[in-house]
């Protein structure tokens, strides 16, 4: 008859084997779940990087490698900022994404990564700190195609607007001259024609303003820098009031405010704002 010690040892061995089997099954299940999860991520085409607490890449999926042109194995272990932002932002302190990573905050927005050839790749980036591990998950997608399509749309819009601007300038000039001649009595026409001439002048000016706004928007969307400078508001207001007075005899303007008010901006856009405000006031006044 076996001793109690042998029985206890046998039971302990059986329990250990059961625990080992359960652990292996749990590990296998975890591996299967991980494989499925990573498969879903790969199917989205999004790049995924997992950073450790020191900012080095601990994991990179194939999509991330494809976007920046590196083999997966060469990404792992690299410091993210010095690899993907090299030459773009030398110091991490000047990089909004890097600041968010260092402060363990979430980040979402556009950015540029540097690929293996040194080219800038426009990306949309989303990050989230990993609780308990001190690392960060980075998910990003390549925006190269949509950026190129946006540029093509903006270029086409700008080209069309430029083509319209030249003939429209002539139409506005002729219609304004015709309107002033009728209003000053230098040209006698029937009342119905006078109204049509006034409407023609007004609508041609409105079309000119629409084309100018479209060009302004196209320029801004193409990231052309705003030429910021001190702008004396009274000077711009006086010029626009004089212009509108010539275009629309009979219109009067009450001018108030400080004579020395100055704003730091691009005069072209300040002038556009003042033009819109004054023309709307004329359009809807009384």
User: How far, in Å, are 139, 159, 238 from residue 232 at the CA level?
Assistant: 47, 32, 10
Nearest Cα to Cα of residue 62 among 54, 73, 78: 73
Residue 210, SS3? helix
Nearest Cα to Cα of residue 175 among 194, 197, 192: 197
> pLDDT digit string (tens) for 59-103?
888 888 999 999 988 888 888 877 787 766 555 556 777 877 777
Answer CATH for 144-224 from 1.10.3420, 3.10.20, 1.10.540, 1.10.287: 1.10.287
Domain coordinates of the chain in residue numbers? Answer: 45-142, 144-224, 225-286
* Torsion (CA) 70, 72, 76, 80 in degrees, nearest 10: 40
**Any idea which residue has 């990087």 for tokens?**
49
**pTM of the full structure:** 0.54
Judge residue 125's burial from the number of C-beta atoms within 10 Å of its C-beta, 0-12 exposed, 13-18 middle, 19 or more buried. buried
CA atoms within a 13 Å half-sphere pointing along the CA-CB vector of 245: 9
- What are the two backbone dihedrals, phi and then psi, of residue 139, each rounded to the nearest 5 degrees? -120, 130
CATH number attached to the domain at 45-142: 3.30.450.20
> pLDDT digit string (tens) for 141-194?
899 998 888 888 878 877 877 777 778 888 888 888 888 888 878 878 787 788
């Amino acid at each position: 008859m076996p001793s109690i010690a042998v029985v206890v040892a046998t039971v302990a061995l059986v329990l250990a084997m059961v625990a080992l089997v359960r652990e292996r099954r749990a590990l296998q299940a975890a591996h299967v779940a991980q494989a499925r999860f990573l498969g879903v991520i790969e199917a989205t085409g999004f790049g995924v990087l997992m950073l450790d607490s020191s900012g080095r890449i601990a994991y990179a999926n194939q999509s991330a490698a494809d976007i920046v042109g590196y083999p997966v194995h060469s990404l792992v272990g690299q410091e993210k900022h010095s690899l993907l932002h090299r030459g773009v932002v030398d110091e991490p302190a000047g990089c909004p994404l890097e600041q968010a990573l260092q402060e363990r905050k979430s980040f979402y927005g556009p950015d540029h990564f540097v690929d293996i050839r040194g080219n800038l790749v426009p990306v949309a980036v989303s990050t989230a700190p990993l609780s308990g591990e001190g690392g960060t998950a980075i998910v990003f997608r390549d925006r190269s195609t949509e950026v190129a399509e946006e540029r093509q749309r903006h270029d086409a819009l700008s080209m069309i607007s430029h083509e319209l601007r030249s003939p429209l300038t002539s139409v506005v000039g002729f219609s304004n001259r015709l309107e002033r001649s009728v209003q000053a009595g230098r040209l006698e026409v029937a009342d119905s024609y006078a109204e049509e001439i006034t409407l023609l002048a007004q609508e041609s000016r409105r079309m000119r303003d629409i084309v100018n706004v479209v060009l302004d928007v196209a320029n801004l969307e193409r990231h052309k820098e705003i030429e910021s400078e001190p702008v004396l508001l009274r000077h711009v207001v006086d010029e626009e009031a004089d212009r509108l007075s010539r275009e629309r005899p009979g219109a009067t303007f009450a001018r108030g405010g400080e004579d020395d008010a100055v704003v730091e901006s691009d005069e072209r856009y300040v002038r556009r704002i003042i033009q819109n405000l004054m023309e709307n006031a004329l359009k809807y006044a009384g």
